[in-house]
Structure 1
Amino acid sequence: MSTAQPAPLSFRDAGEADVAELVALVESAYRGETSRGGWTTEADYLEGQRTDEDGVRQIVDAPEGTLLVVERADEMVACCHLEHRGDHAYFGMFAVRPGLQGGGLGKEILAEAERRARETWGVREMRMTVVNVREELIAYYVRRGYRRTGELSPFPYGDERFGVPLRDDLAFELLVKPL
């Protein structure tokens, strides 16, 4: 019986040619029925879009950060956004294909993102915001060294670019990790 190892992950900065595929990846991981194939779905809290081509293009074009494309055997399997913000880096738009979630990819990608932020920008802290009702996702980050701050920022109710909330108690909680 062969236990072949999967191909290694490769990381590269996203470009204009990646925008449509990145939108599809992010949408598949967070919204709609396909997102229910993984554990990061927001379909029980939010409907509508998670992002769009303009939003992804703005991140791709921003000089202070990068949208990392993660590939395995030339197939896009994940992405994440890293942005340099003075003394820290911001981590966001993290998406792994739903059928590949739960197998350790996320942990490997997060570690690489933290390494890049530390080595590229010399920052000592990574920050992210997570929808406050996503207890399972928050617990995932806590297991990887992130600390809940209790600091909340409002969810952009009424701005459908970020989705249509299905409940009225959503906010973003700031999580931080020393690097």
Structure 2
Amino acid sequence: MDTAPDRITFRDAADTDVPALVALIESAYRGESSRTGWTTEANILGGRRTDPDGVRDVIASPAGRVLVVERDGEPVACCQLEQRGHAAYFGMFAVSPALQGAGLGKRIIAEAERRVRADWGADEMQMTVISVRDDLIAWYERRGYRRTGRMFPFPYGDERFGIPLRDDLQFELLVKPLPARAAGDGAR
């Protein structure tokens, strides 16, 4: 477990975290509470962002993990990491709306990149982002991710992904090469 001076810790999620993680993810992306942060999807998608079964499935996946970020013992952020051959997938990223814009997201993505490089030897991080999320894509680009132009259809009609409020949604693949592990750069 890593501890920073401001009492932020990182750990792998357990089944007992599912209710808190669902609430966190929902608060960051959907409904009125999400509008206090800048990552809201409330203007493009209604309905739920995730559900307990979906989060539980990600936690149980042998190829991945959910990283829980806590402040003073309370979950304030999370992300999914999944091993995909030489690459790793970064998803289900949520930061409490009250803490967005303060640099926590930068720390989390840097820690996620460090872990997949150290633990799995990944040389690339991949993610998909809804292509109309220009502000979010720009944030990832400032962190070294690049747009690939490779698009995937949004699952219209599958309410597990939300209820679209527009008809032009699709996912774009973003990638970032990860530098080779330096000597002594092992898992902490």
Matched residues in 2 for 1:174 and 1:130: separation? 7
Question: Residue 166 of structure 1 corresponds to which residue in structure 2?
Answer: 165
- 1:72-110: per-residue Cα shift (whole Å, max 9, x none)? 111111000000000100000000000100000000000
Post-superposition shift, 1:113?
0.1
- Report matched runs for 1:1-179 at 5 Å: 7-179=6-178
Alpha-carbon distance in structure 2 between the residues aligned to 1:109 and 1:127:
15
CA distance in 2, matches of 1:80, 1:53: 15
Identity of aligned residues (%): 69
Q: Which runs of 4+ in 1 moved over 4 A?
A: none
Change (3 A) 1:54 1:86: same
The Cα shift of 1:51 comes to 0.3
Whole-Å separation in 1 of the counterparts to 2:5 and 2:152: 39
Q: For residues 77 and 6 of structure 1, what CA distance do their matches in structure 2 show?
A: 16
TM-score, normalised via structure 1 length: 0.96
Q: Deviations over 1:21-55 (max 9, x none)?
A: 10000000000000001000000000000000000
Q: TM-score, normalised by structure 2?
A: 0.92
Q: Which stretches in structure 1 are left out of the alignment for 5+ residues?
A: none
C-alpha distance in structure 2 between counterparts of 1:8 and 1:150, whole Å: 39
Question: Alpha-carbon deviation of 1:9?
Answer: 1.4
CA distance in 2, matches of 1:14, 1:74: 13
Cα RMSD over matched residues?
A: 1.0
Paired amino acid for 2:92: M
Q: Which runs of 5+ in 2 are unaligned?
A: 179-188
3-state secondary structure, aligned to 1:167: coil
Give, as a single letter, the amino acid of the residue that structure 1 aligns with 2:169. Answer: L
